[in-house]
Structure 1
Amino acid sequence: MGEAETKKRLAALALGAIGVVYGDIGTSPLYTLQSTLSLDGLKPTQESIFGVLSLIFWAQIIVVSLKYVTFIMRADNKGEGGIMALMALALRSARDQPKLRWVLAILGIFGASLFYGDGVITPAISVLGAVEGVKVAAPGLGHWVVPLTVAVLLVLFWLQRRGTGHVGRLFGPVMVVWFVVIALLGINMIVRNPHILWALNPMYGVHFFFVHGFKAFVSLGGVVLALTGAEALYADMGHFGKRPIRLAWFSFVLPALILNYFGQGALLLDHPEAIDSPFFKTVPSVVLYPMIGLATVAAVIASQAVISGAFSMTREAMSLGYSMRMPVVHTSREMSGQIFVPWVNAFLLVMVLVAVLGFRSSDSLSAAYGIAVTGTMTITTLLALIVANRQWNWRLPIVIVVGLVLLTIDLSFLGANLLKVEYGGWFPLVLGLGVFIIMTTWRRGRELVVREIKQGGLALEPFIENITEHPPLRVPGTAVFLTANQHSVPHALLHNLKHNKVLHERNVMLTVEILEAPVADAEERIHLIPLAGDFYGLELRFGFAEDPNIPVALTRCAKSGLPFDLMDTTFFLSRENVVADKRRPGMALWRDRLFAFMSRNALPATAFFQIPGNRLIELGTQVEI
């Protein structure tokens, strides 16, 4: 690809990133300053305005620019981002330490669960905050805010099936207009009160804490609203790549945000009564209605970052064994990371509508916002520090210093938001806890099923010896038996031999392994073990960001000495019927039943591995856990 073509592609990806990745953080000016300076005990005085603006500016620099865009995005797992990819990266650095692996897995799963809570609150508060501009323009229309919000959200989630790439191309130009407009609005106000720029000095933030003490700490629960798209930024890295995301942030998004926040502050210096809606009151009245429309569209786009991030994380969780298998639709021929997960889309839509109809205003939702985000941010920092120490070989003193700085900030934001639990913060926590229970139940349930299958299986080598000494009727063709244990006889093989009294000429025991890397290297994809009597052990390995296509992988086995004619190959699979039994050790009975329900409704392994139905024979087996 030539230099001109490379620049053109980089610009296109940066434009898409502006539309998809930065929608969330880009619409935070709609509600951040209003929510922060409206807290009990705070008033929009010059001292508090300067203090809050200083905190917002330095939070953008330290948390988003330095921590996420510079530090965390280095922790890409072969191009993939997000907390599940980061967890897999950390797990690879602790392969020989099972206790540490368990702790890292729990942290990663809980962080991912909280991200789904963020995925629910973000669309709700962003769209509500934009549509509430109607009350500024026409107070009598305030009762239409919730119905209009519901209508906008229905359109947003309907658009998801079009794919991230199409949505990015549609939303990118709109968000460019949005950032240009909010920057101009900010400049217009700053020109009137240019001394507002003194708030860039971090000492104003320090002074704010000295003056207000605990109230200043509580205000961090509002300041964090300016950072709410940072985790989605990292989760969406696999969609666009780190270079376009960094280019868009430093050259375009960050300057526009800072200008608008400071413009709102400049307005409040002269008109503190505008605190009820400082964003819309920076807008000239002649363009107020068009601005409400643009803000609503931008808020719709804001939701795209966490929604597409949730899709990516779900696919990673499925591959790593932390989520039940679901249908995944690829929406781009060029970018494998651009996907649509219908079940997740439906779940998010239902929960977002519950949030809107339950809280009914962005002020009420702001109390619920932040806990999920700051919890995930803290866990991301911990996992990244493990990676920095164990894989990047950072010296321990450097890791400790970086960790103290980042964790002090993260835990301060988290602590401030925990104070809001009784006022609505319980909602994302309950959501996150529910997802955490589902993910851990699925993981533990699969471990119990595999254990039961291994305990009940016959040893493979004596079985092959017995078959060689007492051969049954052999029929032409190749039989592939999917198994989780290469050392025991697959149940499907035993059932086939028992009922049909025949064996195929070639019998392949196939195991599929998902690696803790997004893409498997060529040399580790296939591992073939020839056995006696035309039996073979075959291991196929895929990365967690890949689609495990078994038929395609088998066509590549010829180089390893085992050619396949797929028209002469039959796949045998045991489908487990999981039964919860309270007499069995393992999980609590209610979790056993939950796992059995999920197992019955999960996408079949044959569909997940893309095995053609006309070459498949499934044999049922009952497994008690």
Structure 2
Amino acid sequence: LLGYLGQAAYLMQNQGDYTQVFYSSVPSGAFWPVLVIANVAALIASRAMTTATFSCIKQSTALGCFPRLKIIHTSRKFMGQIYIPVLNWFLLAACVVLVCSVPSVTEIGNAYGIAELGVMMMTTILVTLVMILIWQINIVIVMAFLIIFMGLELTFFSSAIWFVGDGSWIILIFAGVLFVVMSIWNYGSKLKYETEVKQKMSMDLLRQLGPNLGTIRAPGIGLVYNELARGIPTIFGHFLTTLPAIHSMIIFVCVKYVPVPVVPEGERFFFRRVCPKSYHMFRCIARYG
């Protein structure tokens, strides 16, 4: 924030020198040290962006707002230290495509500016909610914090919004596409779960079918994935009516995420019998961090 204010002060005195305002505002004797510091800061910022992206995608996945990806926990002690290989390669490809396709550095700077201001405003809103709901700070202090910081950020945002046609549209389109994907996935996940809950099979029906479930039980183990922690999913009834035979042992698998880095192996899988012993039907709840 102080850096932006310093550049704004420089532009007030040198309005024509706006193309390279950051380096132009640096005194000539401090150019090379500032260049080194700027590159180191860029490396740190890129690492922070990657880590934040991993965290956001993991939380979105846990909330049912994003497709499930392979998540690797790099620490067994600290929560949040994760690595998502697919997302890491996607960020690499997106950065290369962005740099190669955008004709000027100014447009990249405009896109970065509106993204940074969006993050700042969202952070202010979330901190305000935390102050009200969790810390329970006096409402006068909360409103003073919100007015001061949000007012300053909106001032910067109002200037950045004028550059939508000069590169900022890239971030807005990307954010819009991501929002659509997350909304559709969340809607589909909720609809799928609600459908499974409403249409799950009755235990009385299974008891009426008997241990053979009205079909041939072939040797082997069959795994049926579903989101239900209780009950028999309706897809199993579809299997009984369409398949010529089913496995002699059926295991309904349900995957749940818990807010810990790693679930111990002894507590990772919970098994219990679904029907009487002669049915050979079980439920497995797999818990992962």
TM-score (norm 2): 0.71
CA shift for structure 1 position 304:
1.2
* Alpha-carbon spacing, 1:313–1:411, altered in 2? closer, same or farther (3 Å): same
- Cα distance in 1, alignment partners of residues 142 and 244 from structure 2: 61
Deviations 1:440-460, CA, capped at 9 Å, x for gaps = 111112122234444543234
Q: Which residue of 1 aligns with 2:154?
A: 411
**In the aligned structure 2, how far is the partner of 1:403 from the partner of 1:348?**
33
Q: For residues 486 and 326 of structure 1, what CA distance do their matches in structure 2 show?
A: 21
The equivalent residue for 1:281 is 28
- How far off is 1:332 after superposition? 3.8
SS at match of 1:369: helix
Given candidates 188, 211, 216, the residue that maps to 1:445 is 188
CA contact (8 A) 2:222 2:246 kept: no
Equivalents in 2 of 1:36, 1:377: separation in Å? 18
1:335 aligns with 2:82: no
Query: Contact conserved, 1:550 with 1:609, CA < 8 A, in 2?
Result: no
SS at 1:458's partner residue? coil
Aligned residues: 275
The 5 Å alignment of 1:233-244 reads none
TM-superposition CA deviations, 1:503-528 (whole Å, max 9, x none):
54xx77664444xxxxxxxxxxxxxx
% identity of equivalent residues: 24
Q: Which amino acid aligns with 2:212?
A: P
Q: CA RMSD in A?
A: 4.5
The aligned residue for residue 472 of structure 1 is 212
Partner of 1:597: none
Tell me if the contact between 2:73 and 2:261 (Cα under 8 Å) persists in the aligned partners: no
Question: Deviation of residue 293 (structure 1)?
Answer: 5.7
Give the CA deviation at 1:322.
1.3
After TM superposition, list the pairs within 5 Å mapping 1:157-236 onto structure 2.
none
Distance change in 2, residues 1:276/1:305 (3 Å)? closer
Give the partner amino acid of 1:553. R
1:302 correspondence with 2:45: yes
Name the CA distance, whole Å, in 2 between partners of 1:502 and 1:431.
46
Is the Cα–Cα contact under 8 Å of residues 378 and 410 in structure 1 kept in the other structure? yes
* CA pair 471-349 structure 1, distance change in 2 beyond 3 A: closer
Give a deviation string over 1:451-486, Cα, whole Å, max 9, x none.
4444543234x235435xx33389999987543235
| CA deviation after TM superposition for structure 1 residue 310, in Å | 1.0
Structure 1 residues 1-38: Cα deviation after superposition (integer angstroms, max 9, x where no partner): xxxxxxxxxxxxxxxxxxxxxxxx9xx96xx5785357
What is the identity, as a one-letter code, of the residue corresponding to 2:52?
G
Q: CA deviation at 1:437?
A: 1.2
Q: 1:37 to 1:395 in 2, by over 3 A?
A: closer
The answer on 1:458 being equivalent to 2:173 is no
- Contact 1:483–1:490 at 8 Å: present in 2 too? yes
Q: Alpha-carbon deviation of 1:319?
A: 1.6
Q: Which amino acid aligns with 2:24?
A: S
* 1:485 pairs with one of 228, 242, 246: 228
Contact 2:10 2:25 in 1 (8 A): no
More helix, by proportion:
1
Q: Could you tell me which residue of structure 2 aligns to residue 43 of structure 1?
A: 13
Q: Give the structure, 1 or 2, with the largest relative contact order (CA under 8 Å, sep 6 or more).
A: 1
After superposition, the Cα gap between the structure-2 partners of 1:500 and 1:292, relative to the gap in structure 1 and judged at 3 Å, is same
* Separation in 2, partners of 1:397, 1:334: 39
Moved more, 333-342 or 413-422: 333-342
Confirm whether residue 370 of structure 1 aligns to residue 113 of structure 2.
yes
Kindly tell me: are residues 280 and 440 of structure 1, through their superposed partners in 2, closer, same or farther at Cα, counting changes over 3 Å?
farther
Q: Kindly report which structure 2 residues correspond to 1:309-388, keeping only aligned pairs within 5 A, or say none.
A: 309-359=52-102, 362-388=105-131
Distance 2:110 2:246 in 1: 67
Structure 2 stretches of 5 or more lacking a match? 274-279
> Quick check: 420-429 or 490-499, which moved more?
490-499
Equivalent residue number for residue 170 of structure 2:
427
TM-score (norm 1): 0.37
Cα distance, 1:282 vs. partner?
Answer: 3.0
Deviation per CA, 1:135-172: give whole Å up to 9, x if none: xxxxxxxxxxxxxxxxxxxxxxxxxxxxxxxxxxxxxx
- Once residues 248 and 166 of structure 2 are traced to their aligned partners in structure 1, the CA distance between those partners, rounded to angstroms, is 66
Cα offset for 1:419? Answer: 2.3
2:89, 2:157 → 1: CA distance? Answer: 29
Question: For residues 385 and 34 of structure 1, what CA distance do their matches in structure 2 show?
Answer: 27
What SS does the aligned partner of 2:78 have?
coil
Letter in 2 for 1:43: Q
Give the partner amino acid of 2:28: K
8 A Cα contact 2:252 2:283, kept in partner: no
Check conservation: 1:486, 1:509, Cα contact below 8 A. Answer: no
- Structure 1 residues 501, 307: closer, same or farther in 2, change over 3 A? closer
CA distance in 1, matches of 2:10, 2:163: 14
User: Could you tell me which residue of structure 1 aligns to residue 269 of structure 2?
Assistant: 554
Structure 1: where are the runs of 5+ without partners? 1-24, 46-128, 133-221, 223-274, 515-541, 563-568, 574-605, 611-625
Contact 1:323 1:442 in 2 (8 A): yes
